[in-house]
Amino acid sequence: MHSNENTARIESDEEVCVLSLELHADPEAENPREWDNLGVMVCAEHRNYTLGDEDGFSKAQDVVREHYSEAFLEDYDLDHHPHVYRLMENIKDVVMLPLYLYDHSGITMSTAPFSCPWDSGQVGFIFVTKEALRKEYGWKRITPKRMEQIYKYLSGEVETYDQYLRGDIYYFLAKEDDDVVDSCSGFFGSDPTKNGMMDHLSEPFKKLAQEGKYELVYG
């Protein structure tokens, strides 16, 4: 709860109405890896979770086969994630970032290593081919500035997926007295002034959000 006074009273000649705003963690949030993403997320099998794109590893295998000869690949096991990752790293047509997972009382993912060596490690990678970028954006040349943009875009996809893994997705209930008068879901992050929620709230509830007069509800 963000305030001891997290409601607003609206008085008229006919009635007094108490407004309140609740933000609930959404246990049924949509997996962002099912969206139309630019990057392909490849994750090794995990004993407790299904991570990344369902067809991510097969897409990486296809890219490897396109760029290396059969004779060269005889020394590698394309069913072995580390081998595929090593081969992908050496393909100039591929833009990629490593993925690290921290697994302790929940999971979180990042493109940078975590400080704890016991409960974390590399779990995979996210990539896009330059051929796909040219088709997507109509680019003839992939300049350093454009490469920087793509790295930021891929990092953003990982950050969004990390929020999904951590359960950092919310829906709101806007109430008059105890009656729900409005609701909407799919907001990433618990700050209603930054997660896009303000575009969906009517004015009295926007004011509650701006003043921090809302309740976070978990479970």
Amino acid at 68: Y
- pLDDT on residue 2: 40
- pLDDT on residue 10: 59
Calpha distance 12→10 (Å, rounded): 7
Same domain, 122 and 189: no
Does the residue 133 lie in any domain? yes
Nearest 10 degrees: Cα torsion 169, 174, 180, 181: -120
Single out the residue in 130, 148, 166 at which a domain terminates: 166
The pTM of the whole model exceeds 0.85:
yes
Does the residue 2 lie in any domain? no
Same domain, 172 and 150: no
Terminal Cα-to-Cα distance of the chain (whole angstroms): 14
Same domain, 90 and 173: no
Does the residue 1 lie in any domain? no
Same domain, 14 and 39: no
Same domain, 13 and 78: no
Same domain, 193 and 205: yes
Same domain, 139 and 67: yes
Does the residue 123 lie in any domain? yes
**Cα-to-chain-centroid distance, residue 5:** 33
Single out the residue in 166, 182, 206 at which a domain terminates: 166
Same domain, 147 and 45: yes
State whether the Cα torsion 82-86-89-93 is positive or negative: negative
Calpha distance 70→7 (Å, rounded): 67
Same domain, 99 and 204: no
Distances (CA, A) of 29 to 8, 24, 122, 157: 29, 11, 25, 16
- 9 SS3 class: strand
Same domain, 150 and 194: no
Domain that holds residue 201: 7-29+168-217
pLDDT averaged over 10-residue windows placed end to end, the chain, 219 residues: 52 71 94 96 90 97 97 96 97 97 92 90 97 95 96 98 96 94 95 96 94 88
- pLDDT on residue 11: 52
Same domain, 174 and 161: no
- pLDDT on residue 3: 38
